[in-house]
Amino acid sequence: MREFETGATRDDDQTKPDYEGFLSPLALRRYGVYMSEHRTQADGKVRDSDNWQKGMPVTEYLKSMWRHFLDLWTIHRGTNVGDEKDSHSISRQEALCGIIFNAMGYLHVLETNGDGESYAQDSLDEGYCNDDEEVDEALKEKTDDFRVADSSRKSVGLMPLHRNQQGGNPGILRKKEGK
């Protein structure tokens, strides 16, 4: 128990994460700038800042992380690297922010999904359905061969089978027999 000069008390904080000490506001600020600079897509549309949290295969994060790491390594060894899209000279900060983004995305998948390798492709195969009756039957069977989808019908990964908090259809898509 900690007691302050004012008489206020708080429990001991030695077992709690010390985010203020673990993180650098300078690095986070630079990362935020990097992310803002990379929101505009090839078609000119600006994606939502949390778009990446919708999910993508972890292999996409890993491949991109390697490209950014190779950029950093090359720059570190004294050779300039030009961006593939517009040929601007990539800085170490930009390469590091790309690594951070991909590491965070990969970790986000693991923390929210538990199994990044099961992340599905962008659209569902024809072999999947979202029929309440089939989901109810599957809940009884406790089958784990399911894909969770968001409202746009895009698959975002395999998840443990469960009902949502309101008790309704958990939005789980079941692979049809024989597919």
Taking the model in full, what pTM does it have?
A: 0.61
Q: 161 and 106 in one domain?
A: no
**Which SS3 state, helix, strand or coil, does residue 60 take?**
helix
- Domain enclosing residue 82, as ranges: 2-37+52-118
Give the pLDDT of the chain (179 residues) as one tens digit per residue: 888 899 998 888 788 888 999 999 999 999 999 999 999 998 999 999 999 998 888 999 999 999 999 999 999 999 999 998 888 999 999 999 999 999 999 999 888 876 544 443 332 333 334 444 554 554 455 444 444 444 333 334 433 333 333 343 333 333 334 44
Does a structural domain hold residue 32? Answer: yes
Structural domain ending residue among the three candidates 118, 145, 162: 118
Number of domains the chain contains = 2
Does a structural domain hold residue 123? Answer: no
Q: 84 and 21 in one domain?
A: yes
Place of tokens 């659209």: 123
Q: 138 and 103 in one domain?
A: no
Distance CA 173, CA 27 (A): 40
In angstroms, what CA-CA distances link 82 with 40, 71, 109? 19, 9, 30
Q: 90 and 23 in one domain?
A: yes
